[in-house]
């Protein structure tokens, strides 16, 4: 059964993370990086699905320093506004350090193979990119990551495969930013980008305003194949 576990932060304190385990109790790990809504139903569902695919899936509470235990719903206006407030207060560098602290936990679970990937959405997509540039994660996938154009100077640090799913009509990633990202990552053999033409931000969020099943299914299939190739 899925459960919450506690993880020690490198700078003191601890935070909770949702852990879903494969039925076989054996397999690689995937770090699931939240959107701006905490470890909500959507994130827990992603973890549960990865567990069904044979992975240990761990989703940490990244807003624990501000307001721990949040589980917000993007369809509720006050929750949406609170999520954007939290995004503005979030310390990106400390968030990366918290994610890095999760990797040895994932790799050391009973039955774990030692391989660990990351997958993130929105804010988590940005963090998945930064995990590829700042950590020893074995493979990373970002869904509609925001502000990647601010970190293109770090692309030279990518040592393991990175897969990016980009929405061409993303209201949070303007066309000029999309062009900068494409140009900045062009020629990097470790980076694969897929554009989802006509799709808006969070097209893979089940139940979300811009959810598109066909595009979500395609992105999820590509992610599954990517992790199977690089984490097996």
Active site residue 11: no
Concerning whether 201 is annotated as a catalytic residue, the answer is yes
**What is the separation, in whole angstroms, between the first and last Cα of the chain?**
23
Rg of the Cα trace of the chain? 16
Q: Which of 13, 225, 2 lies closest to 117 in space, CA to CA? A: 225
| φ/ψ (deg, to 5) at 27 | 150, 175
Nearest Cα to Cα of residue 62 among 82, 26, 83, 33: 33
Selecting among 98, 165, 201, 212, the annotated active-site residue is 201
Count of H helices and E strands in the chain?
6, 8
| CB neighbour class for 54 (10 Å; exposed up to 12, middle 13-18, buried from 19) | middle
Q: How far apart are CA 96 and CA 26, in angstroms?
A: 26
Crossing angle of the two packed helices 123-134 and 92-108, in degrees rounded to 10: 70
Given 98, 170, 200, 212, the catalytic residue: 170
Catalytic residues, which ones? 170, 201
């Amino acid at each position: 059964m899925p459960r919450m576990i506690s993880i020690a932060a490198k700078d003191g304190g601890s935070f909770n993370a949702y852990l879903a385990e494969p039925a076989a109790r054996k397999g690689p790990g995937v770090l699931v990086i939240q959107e701006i809504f905490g470890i909500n139903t959507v994130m827990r569902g992603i973890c549960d699905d990865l567990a069904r695919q044979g992975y240990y899936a761990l989703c940490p509470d990244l807003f624990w320093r501000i307001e721990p235990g949040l589980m917000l719903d993007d369809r509720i206006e006050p929750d949406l506004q609170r999520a954007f407030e939290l995004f503005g207060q979030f310390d990106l560098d400390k968030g990366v350090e918290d994610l890095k602290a999760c990797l040895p936990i994932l790799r050391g679970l009973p039955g774990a193979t030692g391989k660990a990937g990351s997958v993130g959405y929105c804010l988590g997509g940005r963090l998945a990119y930064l995990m590829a540039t700042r950590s020893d994660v074995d493979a990373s996938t970002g869904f509609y990551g925001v502000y990647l154009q601010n970190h293109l100077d770090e692309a030279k640090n990518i040592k393991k495969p990175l897969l990016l799913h980009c929405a061409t009509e993303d209201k949070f990633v303007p066309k000029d930013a999309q062009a900068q990202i494409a140009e900045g990552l062009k020629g990097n053999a470790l980076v694969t980008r897929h554009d989802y033409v006509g799709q808006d931000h969070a097209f893979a969020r089940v139940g979300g305003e811009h959810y598109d099943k066909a595009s979500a299914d395609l992105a999820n299939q590509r992610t599954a194949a990517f992790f199977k190739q690089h984490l097996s």
